[in-house]
Structures are given as structure tokens and as C-alpha cells.
Amino acid sequence: MTKERGLPVDAISPADGPIRTPAATKGSLSRRMILIAAVWIIVLLSGGGFALDRVLSSAVTRNFDDQLEYVLRSLLNSSEIGPEGEVIFTREAADQRFVEPGSGLYWQVSGKGREDFPSRSLWDRRLAHGGGHDDRNVHVYNSTQFPDEKLRVVERDVMLPGSPVHWRFQVAQSRDGLDAQITVLRRTLVRSFALLAVGLIVLAALQTFYGLWPLRRVREEIARMRAGQSTRVSSAMPVEVAPMVEELNALIEHNERQAEEARRHAGNLAHALKTPLTVIMNAATAQSEDLADTVIREARTMRRQVDHHLARARAVGRRGSAHSRADVWPSLESVERAVGRLYRHIRLDVTGPRGLQVHVERQDLDEMLGNLIENAAKYGGGSVFVTVGAQAGFVEFLIEDDGVGIPEEQRVRIFDRGVRLDTGKPGTGLGLAIVRDVAEIYEGTVSLEESEDLGGLLVRLRLPAAN
């Protein structure tokens, strides 16, 4: 048994309605917006956190170094040369850690050719002091000379009065306290910025869902329209969504107008065909002697009506295309050749720029120009003059002939279907009616005037320009 989506074919009931084809999707708009916001938040907070960590770590380290420099200046200010040329201090350092072995706070005085003079806290260890540089100014650096203890060292070289020796004063302190402060600081920053990032991402998610909520309302409104509960999206929308809703309502109105036109034309066509069919049926029932002539005559009438309504329906169907456009000059040349073969005695002149385009389908443009130029050739005196030009967003066609023209009081009635002023020549009486209907569908106009140059009829056709 043939199956569709896992169900038997006979299990699908027409009452279930048409199967809805899921729309093609390309990811989630909400997810995309939240992801962009999250990435941007993380990048900004990471950069800001790194910069803040550098600033705060530098401030803590600078404060630590300032304390060491203060001790160094105190040692320098209280130092002098003893009787044997050694360095002595007029007062002891106030910090008790200097006399506690392994306390983590040390000082040392060293001189070339002299024995190192360390604090009691160093005990049997000594601070390294290379002679490769001259620290006339304060020099601060990290040291790993003690395997079990990282040091922060501040040193300076001075010459004390009465001594030719360059003495190097060093103050060192364990980095454990400094590193512990920086670790606490960084942990606090990471936790704070992580919490801030989560909060901002949640805020972005809420903003996205709230901001896109009107689109869900539009979807609900469209579902209500499809269910027949409403005909328009009538709910108030934000200003950003309102233009889309207006265009949607305009599209719905356009489709309804086209559907109404289609129903009206179908009714008009049915009404137009009813009378000829009735005549044919009556003649056939009465077995009239002129049945064949009656059938031919009424069939021609029905054919004219069908051609008219087909032309109008075709133009209505094409009107919705914004890309409908046709080159004016090739259409004029095509109509000129066709009319020239039918009316070889007619002189047909066409003038105007060659680069014009109109927002009309080529087939409809050919039909309008063909009807107008053929009428001018048929009812004129032998000369037809066509002028084309651009004017205020429209392309204007002037079709003039040297015939007798049409009285002004008849110029409106001549556009009605089937109306002919000259019954002595063959025709359907639908040409101008078709031109008017098709021109109006494309938001153009057609009017009749008197030709000043040729003396006959002037037909002015205006169609929207495409360039």
C-alpha cells in the first residue's frame, strides 16, 4: 500500500485540508541575535576585565614596592661609615621581622671587597648582588634565588661620606603576600565579570524575545485570517513592524481586488455568452432556415467577448509583477510591419526616442498599439503619424490619422464594448474598449482628441515609464 508520511493514502481525508509544506528556514533569528550579543558581551567583558586586572595588579604591586622603598630610604638615612670602614646604622629598623630568621623580610648591605652585612632574618643566606650594573637609582625586580621563596627586591647603589666604596643597599620581601592579594583580586574580578556576563546575556535574551514578540502577534493574526476570523491585521504594532503590516494588508487587499475582478469578469463573460447561446438554441429548436448564418453570427459575437475578457484577464494577472517592462521601439516596429502588410496603401510614420521602456508586458503593449494603429489605418484617409515621448514619469503615445475623426460628444461612448461609429467596415467594436481596460490595469490612460496636424483623430495613450 502506498504511504505518505507513514499514513495510508486512503487515511488522508479531504476534510483535513491541504497538506501544509513547511517553509524553508535558515536558523533562528532569536538565537542569532542572542549569540551575537553573547559573543560581543564576552569580548567586551574579557577585554575590560583584562585591562582592569592589569590596572589593579599594577596598583597593588606599586603599593608593595613603595613600602620596600620606604624601608630602603630609612636604611640609607640611618647609615654611616664606622671606624674600620664598615657600614653602621644609627638606629635599627623598626620592623621586628628583620630580626626573625626566615621571616620573609630582609635587608643587606654589600660593597666591593667588603664582607656582606645582612639582617638577622637572612641567617645563613645572602642576597645575590651582581656587579654588572650600577643602580644609582632605585631598581626593583623579582628574584628566584631562594628555591623555596620568591622575592621582590629593591636595591640602590650609594657612596657614603668618608668611604670610597660603592655600597649596594638591598631590601627584599617574600612575594607570597603580594601574590595572594593579586590572586584574590583576580578571583573577585572573574566571578564579578562572569556574573555580569550571565546577567547581560539573560538581559539580551529577554530583550530579544520581547522585541520579536510583535512578529509572533503578526503570525497569530495571519493564522486568524487563514481561519476566516478576520480579514486584516488590525492589532496595533510597533513603528518598526507597522510598515510590514501595512504592506501585508495592502497585498491582501490587492489579492482580494484581483479575485473580485476575476469573479466580476467571469460573471460578465457568462452574461455576455448567455444571449448568443439563447439565440442559437431558439433557432435550432425552431429549425430555422438561416440556422447556419445565425450560428456563425452568434459564434463571432461570443468569440469577440471571449477575446476581450481573456485580454483583460491576462493583463490583470501580469499587473502584479514589478518586473514587467517592455521596450517601446521594438513593439512599434513590430506593429508597423503588421499594419503595413494589412494596409499597403497607408503611409505610416513613427518618430521619437528609441530607448524608452514602459512597465507593461510586451504582449499587452503590442495589443494596445496594434488596436490603435490599426484603427487609425482602417478609418483614416491614408496617413498615420505616431509620436512617442517621455513626460512626467510616463511614456506618451500620440496616434494621429487624417480621417474624419470622431465628434466630441461620441468620444466617451466609443470606449463602450461593441460600439462602432462606422458600420460599413468590418470590425468587432472591442478595440478601444480593450485598450482602455488594459491601460487602466497598468495605471495608464487613453483619451481621444482632434489632430491639429492631420485633421483627423488623435489618440493619446499614456503608460507608466520603466526608465
Q: Give pLDDT tens digits along the chain (467 positions).
A: 344 444 444 444 444 445 556 656 677 888 888 999 999 999 999 999 999 999 999 999 999 999 999 999 999 888 888 888 788 888 877 788 988 999 999 999 988 878 888 999 999 899 988 766 666 789 999 999 998 899 999 999 888 888 888 889 999 999 999 999 999 999 999 999 999 999 999 999 998 888 888 888 888 888 888 888 888 888 888 888 888 888 888 888 888 877 777 777 677 677 667 778 888 888 888 888 888 888 888 888 788 777 766 766 666 655 544 567 899 999 999 999 988 888 888 899 999 999 999 998 888 898 889 989 998 998 888 899 999 999 888 999 999 998 888 877 776 666 654 444 444 444 434 567 778 888 888 889 998 988 888 888 899 999 999 87
Smallest CA-to-CA distance from 209 within 27, 29, 26 is with 29
DSSP letter assigned to residue 465: B
Q: How far apart are CA 179 and CA 184, in angstroms?
A: 9
* CB burial readout 225-263, b (16+ within 10 A) else e: beeeeeeebeeebeeebeeebeebbeeeeeeeeeeebee
> Residue 250 belongs to what H/E stretch?
helix 242-285
What's the pLDDT at 43?
95
Q: Where are the beta strands (DSSP E) in 240-346?
A: 326-327
Q: Are 357 and 380 in contact (CB under 8 A)?
A: no
Q: Are 417 and 424 in contact (CB under 8 A)?
A: no
User: Angle at CA 412, nearest 5°, toward 407 and 415?
Assistant: 110
Residue ranges of the domains in the chain? 54-183, 254-316, 324-464
C-beta atoms surrounding 381 within 10 Å: 13
Q: Are 369 and 332 in contact (CB under 8 A)?
A: yes
What's the pLDDT at 4?
40
**324-464: CATH architecture:** 2-Layer Sandwich (3.30)
What's the pLDDT at 419?
44
Q: What SS3 state is found at 112?
A: coil
CATH topology of domain 54-183: Beta-Lactamase (3.30.450)
C-beta atoms surrounding 351 within 10 Å: 11
Q: How far apart are CA 366 and CA 360, in angstroms?
A: 10
Per 3-state DSSP, the chain is made up of helix, strand and coil in percentages (nearest 5) of 50, 20, 30
Smallest CA-to-CA distance from 177 within 152, 145, 154 is with 152
What's the pLDDT at 10?
44
**Mind spelling out the 3-state secondary structure of 31-60?**
HHHHHHHHHHHHHHHHHHHHHHHHHHHHHH
C-beta atoms surrounding 219 within 10 Å: 10
Is the fold of 54-183 the same as that of 324-464? no
Total-model pTM: 0.52
